[in-house]
Amino acid sequence: MATPFALLKTSLVKKYWMSLTGIFLITFLIVHLLGNLALLGSNDGNEAQIAFNEYTKFMTTFPLIKIVSYVLYFSILFHAIDGLMLVAQNKKARPVKYAHNKPEKNSIWASRNMGLLGTVILIFIVTHMGSFWFKYKFTEMPIDPMGNKDMYSIVVLSFKELWYVLLYVVSMAALAFHLYHGFSSAFQTLGVNHPKYTPVIKKVGYAFSIIVPAAFAAIPLVIYFSN
Amino acid sequence: MNLTIKVWRQDGPSDKGKMVDYKLTDISPDQSFLEMMDVLNNQIIEEGGEPIAFDHDCREGICGMCSMYINGEAHGPGRGVTTCQLHMRSFNDGDTIYVEPWRAKAFPVIKDLVVDRTSFDRIIASGGYVSVNTGAAQDANALPVNKDDADAAFDAATCIGCGACVATCKNSSAMLFVSAKVSQLSLLPQGKVEAHDRVLNMVKQMDEEGFGNCTNTGACEVECPKGISLENIARMNREFMFASLTNK
């Protein structure tokens, strides 16, 4: 038997990895969102600041989460590189384009533009990690009343910048479209297609793709428009 | 009906090719699309030109030869029909109709609207068969087959190999075709024995031919004249996964 990595040149294996890393990233979104919700708490007596900074400390120091975070970095990189490789290969499969084409008659826009949407999301992730993750790990941070690194203030400060909020909202819209197709597509790629379960997977996927990015985008908007 | 037909003209595989406009008058809405093309060719011949080369054979939707990309869709605007089953009543008087060949690296143009689809034949030759003689038709119930499996195998077997799935896929992927051919055999007892080797070899050949990957847009399923379902692609994905993981 060849190893899964040796098989990476096979079209189907590339897709399996897209699917597996994609599903892992979907589960990560839930965890990330739950943490972010701490930002929305009332901060009259520094409660939100302390809660969010405690959470950040836990996420960066707890050993099991540290291991998962490396799997996460790998998944993001792999999903992006594998995806871009697939896009390049797919472009090569049709050297001469149609003079007149109506793809909207048979498929949705998001499904045909996963590469474009993914690129927007990738650019966002790079900016996002630069302004938060990199700052937290490699630069001197302010300290909160409990003696923890004050990630809360850094985040709130960023969310007061118009360009950052706009980038955030646009990226979450791209994420919504990416998930609208990607969620159920991941299951189809793994061979999960059944008259009983597929309609449920699709409905959950559509709901997820709207609710989760909307909730993410709501946080910087709330902070930007509040005093 | 009076129509403007824009057709892809290409002298041979190495010719660059271009879209050429033709005017047609007095086309009956009851004519089939290919009959309209015949009328157009007569007109071109009478004017001393070279007729448009296009593939066709049975003209009743079963041979899989006709292959035109009409107005931006494989086999034109109809659903569940091949180009030969498309009628001019699907268009309006005064319409401009674009007619192009299937576009894929694995389907090179031979001339005008004729493409070379032997890549499909090579995929079949790589495993789309049962190696042993399975004998005459079995006595009923001697070889129990679940009714659902029999139906699914039959549905997959209705694929005529026209290539509309490849033509319509944004990636020129042959997944729907290959998965139908994998499914029609692997669902039945005679084909199950070689299911693992078959799926591995056919996917390998599919990749070597230069078809693209599957993005699950579902366009193939919509444009397929035989209504082959995406369930077949999922089945192939499953079978390939199990075969890769378990084959020695």
- Please provide residue A158's backbone torsions phi and psi, each rounded to the nearest 5 degrees: -65, -40
SS3 state at B166? helix
H and E: helices and strands count for chain B: 9, 7
Q: What is the pLDDT of residue A16?
A: 96
A191 touches chain B (CB under 8 A): yes
Partners of residue A116 in chain B, C-beta under 8 Å: none
Q: Give tens-digit pLDDT for A189-214.
A: 999 999 999 999 999 999 999 999 99
- Find out whether B5 and B40 touch, Cβ atoms under 8 Å: yes
For the record, the structure tokens of A25 come out as 């990233």
Task: List, in sequence order, every residue forming a beta bridge with B124; answer none if it has no partner.
Answer: none
Instruction: Please state whether beta strands B96-100 and B3-9 pair in parallel, antiparallel, or not at all (unpaired).
Output: parallel
Which chain A residue has its CA at the smallest distance from B248's CA? A1
B237 touches chain A (CB under 8 A): yes
Q: Give tens-digit pLDDT for B107-119.
A: 999 999 999 999 9
Q: What is the pLDDT of residue A6?
A: 58
Q: What is the pLDDT of residue B142?
A: 87
Q: Give tens-digit pLDDT for B191-217.
A: 999 999 999 999 999 999 999 999 999
- Residue A105 covered by a domain: no
Residue A126 has pLDDT above 60, yes or no: yes
Distance CA A16, CA A8 (A): 10
- Find out whether A2 and B244 touch, Cβ atoms under 8 Å: yes
- Find out whether B192 and B219 touch, Cβ atoms under 8 Å: no
| ipTM here | 0.92
- Residue B236 covered by a domain: yes
Q: Which of B115, B72, B6 is nearest to B223 (CA)?
A: B72
How many structural domains is chain A composed of?
Answer: 1
* CB atoms inside a 10 Å sphere around CB B60: 10
Domain end position, chosen among B72, B100, B128 = B100
Look-up: residue for tokens 């319509």? B168
Q: What is the pLDDT of residue B79?
A: 94
Distance CA A36, CA A32 (A): 6
* Chain B from 2 to 61: CB within 8 A of any A CB: 6, 8, 19
Residue B148 has pLDDT above 70, yes or no: yes
Same domain as B159, residue B92: no
Binary contact (B98, A86; C-beta < 8 A)? no
- Find out whether B55 and B114 touch, Cβ atoms under 8 Å: yes
Q: What is the pLDDT of residue A224?
A: 95
How many structural domains is chain B composed of?
Answer: 2
Distance CA A41, CA A141 (A): 22
Same domain as B58, residue B144: no
- Residue A1 covered by a domain: no
Binary contact (A191, B217; C-beta < 8 A)? no
For chain A, helix, strand, coil in percent to 5 are 75, 0, 20
A103 touches chain B (CB under 8 A): yes
Binary contact (A111, B215; C-beta < 8 A)? yes
Look up the CATH number of the domain holding residue B220.
1.10.1060.10
- Find out whether B229 and B177 touch, Cβ atoms under 8 Å: no
- Residue B105 covered by a domain: no
- Residue B43 covered by a domain: yes
Distance CA B175, CA B235 (A): 11
Distance CA B86, CA B53 (A): 18
- Residue B215 covered by a domain: yes
Sheet (strand B73-74) strand order: B18-24, B3-9, B96-100, B69-70, B73-74
Same domain as B92, residue B170: no
Distance from CA of A23 to the nearest CA of B (A): 15
Range in A4-18, A26-40, A190-204 with the lowest mean pLDDT: A4-18
Distance CA B111, CA B10 (A): 5
Which residues make Cβ contacts (< 8 Å) with residue A3, sequence separation at least 6?
A: none
Binary contact (B222, A94; C-beta < 8 A)? no
Q: Give tens-digit pLDDT for B26-72.
A: 999 999 999 999 999 999 999 999 999 999 999 999 999 999 999 99
- Find out whether B153 and B187 touch, Cβ atoms under 8 Å: yes
- Residue B108 covered by a domain: no
Distance CA A147, CA B60 (A): 80
Look up the CATH number of the domain holding residue A145.
1.20.1300.10
Alpha helices (runs of H) in chain B, residue ranges in sequence order: 33-46, 118-125, 147-157, 164-168, 175-186, 189-192, 195-208, 219-223, 231-246
Same domain as B131, residue B60: no
Look up the CATH number of the domain holding residue B25.
3.10.20.30
Of A9, A92, A181, which has the smallest distance from its Cβ to B105's Cβ?
A: A92
Which residue range forms the structural domain that includes residue B130? 118-246
Which residues make Cβ contacts (< 8 Å) with residue B212, sequence separation at least 6?
A: A11, A89, A90, A92, A93, A94, B169, B170, B171, B172, B173
- Residue B187 covered by a domain: yes
Residue A4 has pLDDT above 60, yes or no: no
Same domain as B139, residue B71: no
Task: List, in sequence order, every residue forming a beta bridge with B19; answer none if it has no partner.
Answer: B8
Q: What is the pLDDT of residue A1?
A: 46
Q: Which of B175, B195, B177, B196 is nearest to B185 (CA)?
A: B195
Q: What is the pLDDT of residue A5?
A: 58
Mean pLDDT of all residues in A53-72:
91
- Residue B109 covered by a domain: no
Which residue range forms the structural domain that includes residue A49? 10-93+110-225
Q: Which amino acid type is present at position A224?
A: Y
- Residue B201 covered by a domain: yes
